Amino acid sequence: MDLRYDPPAAFRHSRDQLHDLVSAETGLHDFGPADYLSGLTVLLQSMDYDPRFSDQGRRIAWGMVVGVLRGRAQAIASMKANPGFDAKPVLSPVVITGVPRTGTTALHRLLAVDPRFQGLQTWLLDSPMPRPPREEWARYPQYRSTVAALDAQYAAVPGAKAAHFRAAEEVHECCMVLRQSFVSNLWSCAWSAATYDAWWQCQSEAEAYRHYARCVQLIGLNDPDRRWLLKNPGHIEHLDLLLAVFPDARVIQTHRDPGKAIPSLVSLLMNLNGLTEPDRTQQRAENLLRREVAKWAQAVRKCEAVRARHPGQVLDVVHADFHARPMETVEAIYRFIGMDIPEATRAALLRRIEEKPELGHGVHRYAIEDYGMTADEARAPFGDYIARYDLLERASLA
């Protein structure tokens, strides 16, 4: 959450001002291929039309846009400073995906204890560059900036820690760099953005995925022989694009009762976007739940179609099974990705399972009825999906 920047009187007229601000701050003038400009233009127009920002909300939203464009400029500058960064392909990355709130984060952070993996740390998603040695991170202003931003966010919304805790040094989601192309679902989550959302639904994210893949190569430049461990729920909607940039990826798809997963997502989003747009809370929550139900029901259908063309490349993990028998799930994953589990790594995995660090920040409480829908109504568009993975029965037995 960045409050340093005074927002313009009208966002839709501020595109040049935005670029000038980032250039003045960073000394960078190259923002890479121009494909991002269409999305940025629509986003800025939407920011004038759709949300009812508070004064603080306008400042937060503007700071977010500035920060993402700054991250894009820094990524492009770092690519130019490291010629040949993309010479070595990313081989057989392990990619975790699934409807949000189905255990992707817990599984991602659990597997990340294996030192043979490398991942996308939160601060490097904000400022892509070749990952420096761990002991040097605190020297980087980009790292300190991410720490300060997260501290400010959790001070403003303490409940967000329990819902989805992030730390600058921990691995995080690919979507944070995908949004640098300004064609991203994330821009419809931080405040009301119906006109941007309508535009986004008709766009391809192919260029965003190409930029993302290059950022992965850039960040991993100093660790060319470590296997990538990546995670992003949104990949289920764009599995074809993911496999276009990482053809031999080993994909782990998580599954959970949508009647529980989707309202959990809406609760998380409402915690965060209440900072920018405090009015119409009930109406926005109800609209958001219906939007997320429809979006993710469509995403699982698109994913199934792509999976059918790539047999054997996706492993299914049901949320209830993972929670009931986590080590069995981990062992199945390692067999799927063709890796062993050394004894030291097994001990570290078991230790994290026992400690349950995800519960260390409190319990995330929510009720779907608060958002004007029943669980059965949320499940209805997912009928075939729920039956395919037997999600209700397996949850009841866990």
Question: Which regions of the chain does DSSP assign to beta strands (E)?
Answer: 94-98, 117-118, 227-231, 250-255, 314-318
272 belongs to a structural domain? yes
> What is the number of structural domains in the chain?
1
Bigger pLDDT: 154 or 167?
A: 167
Give the pLDDT score at 151. Answer: 83
Q: Could you tell me the two tokens for 247?
A: 């053809």
Mean pLDDT value of segment 244-248: 98
Bigger pLDDT: 233 or 4?
A: 233
47 belongs to a structural domain? no
Mean pLDDT value of segment 120-136: 95
pLDDT bracket for residue 228 (50, 70, 90):
very high
> What's the pLDDT tens digit per position in 309-338?
999 999 999 999 999 999 999 999 999 999
Q: What is the percentage of the chain residues whose pLDDT exceeds 70?
A: 93
Cα 238-242-243 angle, rounded to 5 deg: 115
29 belongs to a structural domain? no
Decide if pLDDT at 150 tops 70.
yes
Decide if pLDDT at 159 tops 70.
no
73 belongs to a structural domain? no
The enclosing domain of 328 has a CATH number of 3.40.50.300
Give the pLDDT score at 246. Answer: 98
pLDDT bracket for residue 7 (50, 70, 90):
very high
Mean pLDDT value of segment 79-97: 97
Mean pLDDT value of segment 76-101: 97
Decide if pLDDT at 3 tops 90.
no
24 belongs to a structural domain? no
Give the pLDDT score at 102. Answer: 96
Give the pLDDT score at 247. Answer: 98
The one-letter amino acid code at 194 reads A
32 belongs to a structural domain? no
pLDDT bracket for residue 163 (50, 70, 90):
very low
Structural domain boundaries enclosing 100: 88-397
CA atoms of 302 and 236, how far apart (whole Å): 7
> What's the pLDDT tens digit per position in 100-127?
999 999 999 999 999 999 999 999 998 9
20 belongs to a structural domain? no
Please write down the HEC assignment for all residues of the chain: CCCCCCCCCCHHHCHHHHHHHHHHHHCCCCCCCCCHHHHHHHHHHHHHHCCCCCHHHHHHHHHHHHHHHHHHHHHHHHHHHCCCCCCCCCCCCEEEEECCCCCHHHHHHHHCCCCCEECCEHHHHHCCCCCCCHHHHHHCHHHHHHHHHHHHHHHHCCHHHHHCCCCCCCECCCHHHHHHHCCCHHHHCCCCCHHHHHHHCCCCCHHHHHHHHHHHHHHCCCCCCCEEEEECHHHHCCHHHHHHHCCCCEEEEEECCHHHHHHHHHHHHHHHHCCCCCCCHHHHHHHHHHHHHHHHHHHHHHHHHHHHCCCCCEEEEEHHHHHHCHHHHHHHHHHHHCCCCCHHHHHHHHHHHHHCHHHHHCCCCCCHHHHCCCHHHHHHHHHHHHHHHCHHHHHHHC
80 belongs to a structural domain? no
Q: In whole numbers, what is the pLDDT of the chain averaged over residues?
A: 92
> What's the pLDDT tens digit per position in 330-375?
999 999 999 999 999 999 999 999 998 765 555 557 788 888 899 9
Give the pLDDT score at 130. Answer: 98
Predicted structure pTM score: 0.93
- Residue pair 56/4 in contact (Cβ under 8 Å)? The answer is no
